[in-house]
A and B are shown apart, each in its own frame.
Chain A
């Protein structure tokens, strides 16, 4: 069934469309002539060594950074060319989970999650609170975390609270920067399951920077490798694993890569 939906999705215009992007910090060029197309409904894992600009690329795609050259279209729109109201309408349809959560430190967890609900929908404060409670449960947080401030939470709990906020509006595209780093393996597996469920039920597209080989094996439909200032290869895992490049081979054929590969060698997980 997944294969069937993937082919249908390929025909539609890509949700994320990056063409010829150049990102430069002073004399240092991070990305050059970078192309990336992500079809709807795909869970894309972006891998790359530290310092290859995974976070920079994510920030460029969501419009936080204007590329020095090239074009980025998100949900068919160029965010930097849009007037403010239409840009907000597009931003409403995406959710972003930053690496350290980026929760508002002066608001409680429930208030953090209610922010997008109150700002972008017609629902009242009471309903926003109830929905926030629902999202807290969905993200796997204990309910007593609801009225705590981010500084009172552990790193993993902060991450889940941030996920709950990113999911608040049931976005069409979800951007995740290292979502499972700092989570224990059980939570990380639950996270992967949740991602898959939401993708199947809501047609979510997920763009995920990750180092977690288990996540790559269990949830990612596609893997993109960022190296040499561009997307070296983007394909399904089996193809990427065979790609002939020293870094890719080290990554997937190294001890950890082999262990993860062996663990997931059986049939692809049942939903």
Chain B
């Protein structure tokens, strides 16, 4: 008697009129790697007339039955099984089921990989450029769609989604307050230190006050808050809408006669456009406070002097220059976040890709617009 777990073997014993295919041992998944080459080798040269001998098979599972099916082919396996009156019924049922399901598993090869090379490089480059163009067009189209929906909805106060707006405002703005203020405070302190170090060489460390207040009112307040929001909120929008898309919730919204732009996008865009100016204001205050701390504690400018210097040197227009950028940033961040969410196709991988893309695009747009705005305001002398 063969021990139960001997690796399966197959041999063809040539007889007078017909040959015998004799199987023995365990035809199981564990021994797949041992049996499979034998099957491969015998398959090509299998004689026409056969007898099947399964008496020495200790165990057989679906993997083993599949291999037998591959060796003999479904039709012949069927015929040979019918000629086996002594076969246990459960084993016959297994071989029958598997044999009938089997396709030629050796014929299968995975789809070919496109390969490498110069042509492939050109193709990739072309695809990337085309993708940028499609992306820009989609973004512009989406902006138009949102503005159109906004215009339509504005006239019908019944369709304003105040609850949704307030929830978004809480999540995107109120919950972001601590991180925005802490970060601005630290950046303010760093700028003050930097200013003090450089300006001290000229005995002009008093101008640190101007450096901090100019920087935060004109640029850093708005940009820091916007970049934080791009990381924090654009990604959240993409993931929320993307998960809804994957779960067919967007389709459900449509079939219920609702407009996903109106239900999902408008509250988010408006909440961000209201919230980012507030966050920008807080970031300005926190940054200047951080700078003031350094001035008071490290440079020795008293608080009263800090305030009076700021009061005389900093025109109010700087504040408005900074604040005017906030709603623009907010609009772009929200639009990009939502649009990328709608592009999710259903796999977990695509949620990841779209979220990455939304954060990268949002930060890129914030910095690009800020640079253009800086040029514009400089030329205008504001």
Q: Which residues of A contact B246 (CB under 8 A)?
A: 151
Complex contact A198–B32 (CB within 8 A): no
| Residue B106 is within 8 A (CB to CB) of chain A in the complex | yes
| Residue B145 is within 8 A (CB to CB) of chain A in the complex | no
Partner of B108, one of A105, A140, A146: A146
Q: Which residues of A contact B349 (CB under 8 A)?
A: 105-106
Among the stretches B4-12, B97-105, B234-242, the one at the interface with A is: B97-105
Residues B15-73 near A (CB distance < 8 A): 28-30, 32-33, 36, 60-63, 66
Q: Which residues of A contact B61 (CB under 8 A)?
A: 170, 202
Q: Which residues of A contact B311 (CB under 8 A)?
A: none
Residues A138-160 near B (CB distance < 8 A): 138, 140, 143, 146-147, 149-151
- A151, B349: Cα distance in complex, Å: 12
Complex contact B97–A138 (CB within 8 A): yes
Among the stretches A77-85, A126-134, A208-216, the one at the interface with B is: A126-134
| Residue B255 is within 8 A (CB to CB) of chain A in the complex | no
| Residue A230 is within 8 A (CB to CB) of chain B in the complex | no
Complex contact B89–A271 (CB within 8 A): yes
Look across to chain B and name the residue whose beta carbon is closest to the beta carbon of A1: B89
Partner of A130, one of B96, B97, B105, B346: B105
Partner of B62, one of A110, A135, A143, A146: A135
Q: Which residues of A contact B346 (CB under 8 A)?
A: 105, 150-151
| Residue B94 is within 8 A (CB to CB) of chain A in the complex | yes
| Residue B198 is within 8 A (CB to CB) of chain A in the complex | no
Look across to chain A and name the residue whose beta carbon is closest to the beta carbon of B104: A133
Complex contact A122–B33 (CB within 8 A): yes
Least distance between B168 CB and chain A CB atoms (Å) = 28
Residue-wise, chain A 161-176 has the 8 Å CB interface mask toward B (1 for contact) of 0000001011000000
Residue-wise, chain A 107-136 has the 8 Å CB interface mask toward B (1 for contact) of 000100000010001111001011101110
| Residue A268 is within 8 A (CB to CB) of chain B in the complex | no
Question: How many pairs of A and B residues are in contact by the CB < 8 Å rule?
Answer: 98
Residue-wise, chain A 16-59 has the 8 Å CB interface mask toward B (1 for contact) of 00000000000000000000000000000000000000000000
- A166, B33: Cα distance in complex, Å: 21
| Residue A200 is within 8 A (CB to CB) of chain B in the complex | yes
Partner of A134, one of B60, B66, B93, B94: B66
Q: Which residues of B contact A75 (CB under 8 A)?
A: none
- A124, B29: Cα distance in complex, Å: 12
Look across to chain B and name the residue whose beta carbon is closest to the beta carbon of A150: B347
| Residue A232 is within 8 A (CB to CB) of chain B in the complex | no
Complex contact A143–B29 (CB within 8 A): no
Partner of A138, one of B30, B62, B345, B347: B62
| Residue B111 is within 8 A (CB to CB) of chain A in the complex | yes
- A146, B32: Cα distance in complex, Å: 21
| Residue B379 is within 8 A (CB to CB) of chain A in the complex | no
| Residue B90 is within 8 A (CB to CB) of chain A in the complex | yes
| Residue B91 is within 8 A (CB to CB) of chain A in the complex | yes
Complex contact B29–A201 (CB within 8 A): no
- A105, B180: Cα distance in complex, Å: 36
Least distance between B68 CB and chain A CB atoms (Å) = 11
Which of B30, B96, B105, B345 gathers the greatest number of chain A CB atoms within 10 Å?
B105
Q: Which residues of A contact B66 (CB under 8 A)?
A: 131, 134, 138
- A193, B246: Cα distance in complex, Å: 33
- A154, B323: Cα distance in complex, Å: 51
- Name 23 A/B residue pairs within 8 A (Cβ), A-sorted: A122-B33, A123-B29, A123-B33, A124-B33, A130-B108, A131-B32, A131-B63, A133-B108, A134-B98, A134-B101, A137-B102, A137-B103, A138-B98, A146-B108, A147-B111, A170-B62, A196-B93, A197-B94, A197-B96, A200-B90, A201-B93, A201-B94, A271-B90
List of 6 A-B pairs having minimum Cβ-Cβ separation, nearest first: A201-B94, A151-B346, A105-B347, A137-B101, A200-B90, A106-B349
